[in-house]
Amino acid sequence: MDREEMLEAQKWIRSELDSCITFWLDNGLDKEHGGIYTCLDRRGDVFSTDKSVWMQGRAAWIFAWLCKTYGTKPEWHEAGKSCLDFMEKYCINRECQDRMYFTVTEDGLPLRQRRHFFSEAFYSMANAEYYGLTGEKAYLDRALRAYNMYWDLWHGMPDPTGLGPKTIPTTRSGRSLGLPMIYLNLCSVLQSVDPSHQELYEKRSAACVHDIFTYHAHPELACVLENVGPDGEARLSFTEGRLINPGHVIEAVWFILEYAGRTGRSDLVGKSEEIFNWSINAGWDHEYGGLLYFIDACGKPPENYEHDMKLWWPHNEILISSLMLFRDTRKQEYLDWFFKTLDYCKTCLSDPEYGEWYGYLRRDGKPTMPPCKGSTFKGPFHLPRMLVQVDFMLSDLLEEQ
């Protein structure tokens, strides 16, 4: 380990965190209706007033987590509480057993209901973190309601909205990697603030890890498939069955490593290494650098138009997972991946002039035009989460020297 290189990286990471949070506090908060706008251009101007429900929950969580991690600042607490209150007031479909919307207008009118239940996941995370911050049990009750709803919908409860699955189930059904992956992270957040339900959280965490490795990991293909059959069978005759999202898998790696650290499951470190290596070796663009968004397990043309773009969040996940793997294995190859990815992020994703990171790059590493810093899917979540985690991991590694 090069101490000076690590110190320089940490200095840059801390500067980027300050820039990121300042960007969102200055430009994203809706002081009239509450909540946060996330469709922001390069300078931070709002280009759409519609609000993502995912982003209300993610932003509420990140601001509460910043308070827990670095100490409460009034502006962080108020920003997160605004998003939390906006969700509670406007983003829950009370006529459908508290299922949540996907998007709403700036003043909270419902726009879109989706079959997915990730809005509930981020609502649960946010409320759990605010329970940890305030001790007010109403937040924990809300978090647990949504936590259990996610589990029940995932495991066969009829959707109160009446929305059906993506495909006609009598023709095709299966499993999606996103469901156990996101729920594993949700379990981690809840167990960190609520020891009274520890057994439940660990039981469900174990089920998520089991599903990822039993159904989605395919050593014969050297990949983790995004979509598989009901029993985990690879379905290679159509594009969705061959889909690999390398960033998703790499994100799952650090969720699994967190679980392994909590439970003493050292066997999961080697298994996490394997799926990390599959994903980054297959997904890294050796011509232009950076991680491709989607690839095909058989090397055929991906169906997704954006498959060869470079997005901000997979690179955030590489930085977390590679540094965790180095921490847990001391293998230089993972530290090398960390610095290689950090260099790409400095060169292509970070914007020193206006702050924050570009969300979407072309394959050659240039921002899509006109460039943006936020969208329905990008807000203050992946980037600050990574910057905080890397800051603390670097501190721990530096203290060992």
Each residue of 25-41: pLDDT tens digit? Answer: 999 999 999 999 999 99
Average pLDDT rounded to a whole number, residues 63-87 = 98
3-state secondary structure 253-307: HHHHHHHHHHHCCCHHHHHHHHHHHHHHHHHECCCCCCECCCEECCCCCCCCCCC
Which amino acid would we find at residue 174? Answer: G
Q: Does any domain span residue 101?
A: no
Average pLDDT rounded to a whole number, residues 319-342 = 98
Task: Give percent above pLDDT 70 in the chain.
Answer: 100
Q: Would you say the C-alpha torsion 334, 337, 343, 348 has a positive or negative sign? A: negative
Q: What is the pLDDT of residue 164?
A: 85
Asked whether residue 401 carries a pLDDT value surpassing 90, the answer given is: no
Q: Does any domain span residue 113?
A: no
Q: What is the pLDDT of residue 121?
A: 98
Average pLDDT rounded to a whole number, residues 334-356 = 98
Q: Does any domain span residue 271?
A: yes
| pLDDT tier, 103 (very low <50, low <70, confident <90, very high otherwise) | very high
Asked whether residue 210 carries a pLDDT value surpassing 80, the answer given is: yes
In a 13 Å sphere around the CA of 210, the CA atoms on its Cβ side amount to 7
Eight-state DSSP code of residue 347: I
Q: What is the pLDDT of residue 254?
A: 98
Q: Does any domain span residue 230?
A: yes
Asked whether residue 382 carries a pLDDT value surpassing 80, the answer given is: yes
Asked whether residue 1 carries a pLDDT value surpassing 90, the answer given is: no
Summarised one tens digit per residue, pLDDT across range 352-361 is: 999 999 999 9
Q: Could you give the CA distance from residue 175 to residue 170 in angstroms, rounded to a whole number?
A: 14
Please report, for the domain that includes residue 231, its CATH number.
1.50.10.10
Q: Could you give the CA distance from residue 42 to residue 135 in angstroms, rounded to a whole number?
A: 38
Asked whether residue 24 carries a pLDDT value surpassing 80, the answer given is: yes
Model-level pTM? Answer: 0.97
Summarised one tens digit per residue, pLDDT across range 143-175 is: 999 999 999 999 999 999 999 888 998 999 999
Helix and strand totals (H; E) in the chain: 12, 13
**Distance of alpha carbon 20 from the chain centroid:** 16
3-state class (DSSP) for residue 222: coil
Q: Does any domain span residue 266?
A: yes
Q: Could you give the CA distance from residue 168 to residue 368 in angstroms, rounded to a whole number?
A: 35
How many domains are contained in the chain?
A: 1
Task: Give percent above pLDDT 90 in the chain.
Answer: 98
Mean pLDDT of the chain: 97
Q: Does any domain span residue 350?
A: yes
Q: Does any domain span residue 258?
A: yes
Q: Does any domain span residue 314?
A: yes
Asked whether residue 200 carries a pLDDT value surpassing 80, the answer given is: yes
Count CB neighbours of 342 within 10 A: 21
Average pLDDT rounded to a whole number, residues 253-281 = 97
Picking from 67-81, 159-173, 181-195, 375-389, which range would have the lowest pLDDT averaged per residue? 159-173
Q: In which domain, by residue range, is 242 found?
A: 175-355
Q: Could you give the CA distance from residue 380 to residue 355 in angstroms, rounded to a whole number?
A: 12
Average pLDDT rounded to a whole number, residues 123-130 = 98
Which amino acid would we find at residue 130? Answer: Y
Average pLDDT rounded to a whole number, residues 180-195 = 98
Q: What is the pLDDT of residue 10?
A: 98
Which amino acid would we find at residue 64? Answer: A
